[in-house]
Structure 1
Amino acid sequence: MLPLYVVNNHGQFNHLILRALRDMDVEATMISNETPPAEVARGCRGIILGGGPTLDRIGAAPAYLDLGLPVLGICLGLHIMATARGGAVRRGASGGFGAVEVDVLDRDGILQGYPERMQVWASHADEVSVVPEGFVRLAESAICGVESMASPDERLYGVQWHPEVSHTVNGRLLLENFNRICSE
């Protein structure tokens, strides 16, 4: 079975995504966001766009959305997805990194098995302000209207929070759901 690729967008937690997958016995490899899309398409069964500091250093990552593979965007990965598909990102009203209570609007797909409300660990320095056409909001919070979104038909999923950090309650479940989607 082909591995999942974790795209390094220069974020401080990308190695934790890789570690979480390996702890789940999921074969995974970290790749540079400069890896040519054709090489990515041949080498994996799903892509996780990791976090990072800015949309200015995302390399070829937007092109990975067009490969027909499932994609999970985490934090900056969500922003890449939103902007590449015609949405918008703005400076968050509530910056910083910390605990956020998230209300789950749709518990199918990537958020299957989660309760209606959960605590996550997120950065809201930037956040999605306009959901792209064809996407649905999956979760929101009191400080952010788009904590998660998806285009189920394209198998594109994004979350503002970091499931890979221990402070997110049951973050592993999100990664398990994505691995299942990649195996279908």
Structure 2
Amino acid sequence: MTRIVVVDLHGQFTHLEQRALRDMGVDTEIVAADAAADGIDADGIVLSGGPDMDRIGNAPDYLDLDAPVLGICLGMQVIAAERGGRVDAGDYGGYADVDVEIVDDEDPLVGSLAPETRVWASHADEVKALPDGFVRTATSDVCGIEAMSNVEEGLYGVQWHPEVAHTERGEEVFENFVAICESN
């Protein structure tokens, strides 16, 4: 059975990320942001959303495990910042429904959502510049980098929250991530 660990970066929807995976038959558990990464045995890692970079604990250490990582909102920002990208305040701010355009229909995480989908996202902070080796896989009128991937490193991120009911086809994002984990 596929095992995916959700690292809780103090987000209000972390439990929904675990539930979405569990409902798909994935063995999953939530671990605290300050849990040591070196003792984790998993086929994949989800870095949850959360309020700010000051409370990410050991999340950066999970990027170096031999398992794909999906960063959601703050989790995506952690990946970008740790790999040399730039994260800054968003122009829009809080939560909103956003029409996201998928710009890479070959991407294993979000490509199946092409050409566009409606999502629920927070843009208080966002990735402003991609790290080397990453490609932008989705954009919107609100945010230039709504999703990013580095397939070679197995690092993926979405600015939006696929775990909430307001996001269309959010379950498909999790299904695609599980498939990535199973093929790793």
TM over 0.5: same fold? Answer: yes
- The answer as to 2:179 corresponding to 1:172 is no
List per-residue Cα deviations over 1:132-157 (Å, max 9, x = no partner): 00000000001111000010000100
- The answer as to 2:117 corresponding to 1:118 is yes
Counterpart secondary structure, 2:29: strand
Q: CA deviation at 1:6?
A: 0.5
Q: Which residue of 2 aligns with 1:141?
A: 140
What residue identity is the alignment partner of 1:12? Q
Q: Name stretches of at least 5 consecutive residues in structure 2 with no aligned partner.
A: none
Q: Name stretches of at least 5 consecutive residues in structure 1 with no aligned partner.
A: none
Large movers: runs of 4+ above 6 Å: none
Structure (1/2) with the larger strand percentage: 2
Mean alpha-carbon deviation: is it higher for 61-70 or for 120-129? 61-70
List per-residue Cα deviations over 1:85-110 (Å, max 9, x = no partner): 00011100001101001000112200
Q: Which residue of 1 aligns with 2:5?
A: 5
Q: Which residue of 1 aligns with 2:161?
A: 162
What residue identity is the alignment partner of 1:180? A
Is this contact kept in 1: 2:53–2:78, CA < 8 A? Answer: yes
List per-residue Cα deviations over 1:15-63 (Å, max 9, x = no partner): 00001111111111111111112112xx211000001000000011011
Is this contact kept in 2: 1:68–1:154, CA < 8 A? Answer: no
Q: Which residue of 2 aligns with 1:87?
A: 85
Counterpart secondary structure, 1:93: strand
Q: Which residue of 1 aligns with 2:18?
A: 18
Distance 2:59 2:22 in 1: 22
TM-score w.r.t. length of structure 2: 0.96
What residue identity is the alignment partner of 1:89? V
Distance 1:75 1:172 in 2: 16
TM-score w.r.t. length of structure 1: 0.96
Is this contact kept in 2: 1:121–1:161, CA < 8 A? Answer: yes
Counterpart secondary structure, 1:113: helix
What residue identity is the alignment partner of 1:69? A
Q: Which residue of 2 aligns with 1:35?
A: 35
Q: What number of residue pairs does the alignment pair up?
A: 182
